């Protein structure tokens, strides 16, 4: 199944070839490329997994990494396919995950015809939920010209390309209110976005409608409705391939383990709250013990301390809402 795994070092001349911009040697971006299924590559840039599906009708890109790496990513895509980018699909509003979407969309081509009598090339569809656009627009310093161009507020955005039914499925009450997952139904591939970050504890975005229960609900939706194991399981042949936002290509068992970890920590924190513990006391009790070495961090954008605080505040808000009923 795993046909190759090669690191592409994109030197300045290659990136400049496709973007028309000068790129210094200091800005070379390493791209790990893994072909994990026929027509599918996982290109990892700055730790973020970008999924590229190619076929005779065009290329679909799910997530685009940060804006700073967009030129290098575009060059990597061009090395692997000559078909134009038709769709760029965003699974959330994290600039580190989708910040390069506008650059990739601008380099692509829509399936629509050019306007009659006008020299206009329609760019690729840059798709996101309405909530994702709202969240991106509120990001300090985010270029408003780079906002998604194709928005949806209904539960599912569906289209058909390369003989593949493709669905962008919103999970608006999950880790945040702006998340979505992407299903390639024929190929049995699911891109889970930030709902499944196999490198750390989930980032619960309380400021944008996220909650620990919402994260669990989203993981359960993936497990119950979108991700399937092979039959019989002992053959390990087939089953849904799940692409986390960070980490290795996964399957149902990996996703189940992650869901169980989140649920166990939720239950531990809830029990401490029921005992009347304060946030400081909950932190001191180390409810993430047993999982810290795998998912924890004491530095960076999202630490174990941050995660426990988010779980605590989420459960306290849930508790307060119940009391008001």
pLDDT, tens digit, 9 for 90 and up, residues 269-302: 999 999 999 999 999 999 999 999 999 999 999 9
H or E element, residue 54: strand 48-55
Tell me how far apart the alpha carbons of residues 258 and 202 are, in angstroms, rounded to a whole number. 9
CA torsion, points 20, 24, 29, 33, in degrees to nearest 10? 50
Q: Which pLDDT value is given to residue 3?
A: 39
Residue 235 has pLDDT above 80, yes or no: no
The partner residues of 186 in beta bridges, in order of sequence, read: none
Mean pLDDT along residues 218-230: 92
List CB contacts of 192: < 8 A, sequence separation 6 or more: 91, 181, 222, 242, 243, 244, 245, 255
Mean pLDDT along residues 260-268: 98
The partner residues of 32 in beta bridges, in order of sequence, read: 7, 44
Domains of the chain: 4-264 (3.60.15.10)
pLDDT, tens digit, 9 for 90 and up, residues 141-182: 888 878 899 999 999 999 999 999 999 999 988 999 999 999
pTM of the shown model: 0.87
Tokens at 104, concatenated: 């990739």
Q: What is the mean pLDDT of the chain?
A: 88
Tokens at 20, concatenated: 């028309």
Tell me how far apart the alpha carbons of residues 154 and 141 are, in angstroms, rounded to a whole number. 28
Paired sense of beta strands 125-129 and 150-152, if any: parallel
In angstroms, the first-to-last Cα distance of the chain is 52
List CB contacts of 56: < 8 A, sequence separation 6 or more: 83, 162
Return the minimum-mean-pLDDT range out of 21-30, 207-216, 283-292, 298-307: 21-30
Strands (E) located in 150-226: 150-152, 156-161, 164-171, 179-184, 189-193
Q: Which pLDDT value is given to residue 112?
A: 65
Contact 79, 17 (CB under 8 A): no
pLDDT, tens digit, 9 for 90 and up, residues 44-91: 999 999 999 999 999 999 999 999 999 999 999 999 999 999 999 999
């Amino acid at each position: 199944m795993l046909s190759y795994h090669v690191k592409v070092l994109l030197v300045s001349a290659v990136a400049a070839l496709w973007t028309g911009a000068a790129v210094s040697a200091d800005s070379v971006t390493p791209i790990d490329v893994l072909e994990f299924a026929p027509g599918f590559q996982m290109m990892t840039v700055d730790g973020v997994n970008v999924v590229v599906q190619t076929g005779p009708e065009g290329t679909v890109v799910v997530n685009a990494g940060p804006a700073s790496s967009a030129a290098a990513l575009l060059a990597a895509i061009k090395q692997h396919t000559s078909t134009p980018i038709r769709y760029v699909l965003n699974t959330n509003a994290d600039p580190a995950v989708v910040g390069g979407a506008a650059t990739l969309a601008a380099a692509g081509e829509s399936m629509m015809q050019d306007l009659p009598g006008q020299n206009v090339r329609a760019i690729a569809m840059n798709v996101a939920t309405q909530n994702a656009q709202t969240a991106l627009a509120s990001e300090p310093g985010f270029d408003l010209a780079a906002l998604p161009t194709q928005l949806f507020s209904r539960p599912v955005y569906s289209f058909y390309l390369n003989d593949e039914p493709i669905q962008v499925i919103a999970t608006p009450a999950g880790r945040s209110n702006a998340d979505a997952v992407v299903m390639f139904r024929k190929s049995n591939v699911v891109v889970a976005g930030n709902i499944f970050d196999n490198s750390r504890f989930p980032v619960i975005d309380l400021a944008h409608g996220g909650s620990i229960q919402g994260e669990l609900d989203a993981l359960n939706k993936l497990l119950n409705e979108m991700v399937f194991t092979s039959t019989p399981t002992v053959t390990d042949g087939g089953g849904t391939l799940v692409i986390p936002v960070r980490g290795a290509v996964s399957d149902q068992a990996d996703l189940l383990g992650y869901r169980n970890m989140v649920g166990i920590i939720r239950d531990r924190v809830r029990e401490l709250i029921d005992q009347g513990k304060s946030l400081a006391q909950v932190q001191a009790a180390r409810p993430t013990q047993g999982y810290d070495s795998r998912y924890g961090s004491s530095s960076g954008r999202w630490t174990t301390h941050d995660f426990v605080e988010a779980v605590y505040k989420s459960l306290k808000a849930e508790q307060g809402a119940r009391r008001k009923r």
